[in-house]
Amino acid sequence: MEETILDAFQQNGLSRRAFLKFCAATASLLALPPAAAAAMAEKLASTPRPTVIYLSYQECTGCLESMTRSFSPTIEHLMFNNISLAFNDTLQAAAGEAAEAARKEAMRKAWGKYILIVDGAVPLGAGGAYCVAAGQSAVDDLRHAARGAAAIIAVGTCAAFGGVPYAAPNPTGAVPVSEVIRDRPIINVSGCPPIPEVMTGVVVYYLSFGMPALDRQGRPLAFYGNTIHDRCYRRPFYDEGRFAHTFDDEGARNGWCLYELGCKGPVTYNACATLKWNQGTSFPIQSGHGCLGCSEPDFWDKGGFYRPLPAATGHWARGEVLGGAALGGAVVGAGMAMLARSHQKANAAKTAKEVGSQPQKEDSHEH
């Protein structure tokens, strides 16, 4: 009989009460309705600990570094109680042939069932020779691993959208995971790096309910359903037309909106303003720097980080920038607010419908 997630909890000295508290905390983190905590506990109590294969390609290890700093659930909690992390070449003790042998054996035993986490873009240039490990190119390695995966989580903007390796002139021919794998469900967890709790939360959600509701970019709506601007504590200053113009002027010292210093919060979907970083301590805007838009596709190639967004559009585009504070507050602010309300209502309805149906549908992760 396979070890379940509840079994793993109890073997590590944790009670069923602690297990239920974990489910309640995770459901709260994911902004799920109260009934979801009970559904999550019921599902995880009977779910075998899944094998997870974590592959790294063109990346800087920042995403993994971020994940290790998750506090709810912690990476240790996830590894010892929720999943069986069978391969990660940064965290594991084994190396070389021993590591590769362990990975192949784990994949063989869990073929068709394991979760594949991919970190980094995949280079196609020079026949894939820009990224080779154990004699196999990244693209061939990914294709083989994906064939045995129940689902794929593309962690970080490099894996989700190509990120920095994909930026012009893209000398290695780097592409996101979705341009290589098209026949498996993929969850994009973008960010450079993503928020730690978003990464661990997505894994736990998938184990409980299967595929989450996704936005047009393949990202979980629970975390990417609103723009940073929608939830930013500096939003009232934006609506009033109060902006910092330099990083050391009166506006900056008073905590006014950073829109005119290039903040990309109005067009960037992420949970930075609500979950924040370092156990909810802060996020870039709270620390005095505008959002770079790092969780959006092609963020590296869309003009200067300190150039204001165009006033007439809610999309990344080149054009005339905001001419004055009044115009920003009255015209752009009103338009963004209307779009945000519409977006929020649609996302809430989609997520509620999806969560309500998941516990009764065991194979909901299959499209």
In which residue ranges of the chain is pLDDT below 70? Answer: 1, 311-367
Which pLDDT score, from 0 to 100, does residue 12 have?
A: 78
- DSSP annotation of 82 reads I
Which pLDDT score, from 0 to 100, does residue 352 have?
A: 53
Of the CA atoms within 13 Å of residue 209, those in its CB half-sphere come to 27
Architecture per CATH, domain 229-363, reads as Irregular (4.10)
pLDDT tens digits for 297-338?
A: 999 999 899 999 986 444 343 333 343 333 444 344 444 445
Which pLDDT score, from 0 to 100, does residue 246 have?
A: 97
pLDDT tens digits for 17-47?
A: 888 888 888 888 777 888 888 999 898 888 8
Residue range 49-224 forms a domain whose CATH class is: alpha beta
Which pLDDT score, from 0 to 100, does residue 130 have?
A: 96
d(CA 268, CA 284): 13
pTM for the predicted model, two decimal places: 0.82
List, in sequence order, the alpha helices (H) in the chain.
Answer: 5-11, 16-29, 35-46, 62-67, 75-77, 96-109, 138-147, 156-161, 163-166, 196-209, 221-224, 228-231, 235-240, 250-253, 272-275, 325-327, 333-357
C-alpha distances (whole Å) from 264 to each of 132, 196, 283 are 35, 21, 14
Token pair for residue 170?
């893209």
Q: Where are the domains of the chain?
A: 49-224, 229-363
d(CA 156, CA 341): 27
C-alpha distances (whole Å) from 131 to each of 58, 86, 145, 209 are 7, 22, 16, 35
Which pLDDT score, from 0 to 100, does residue 1 have?
A: 61
d(CA 167, CA 160): 13
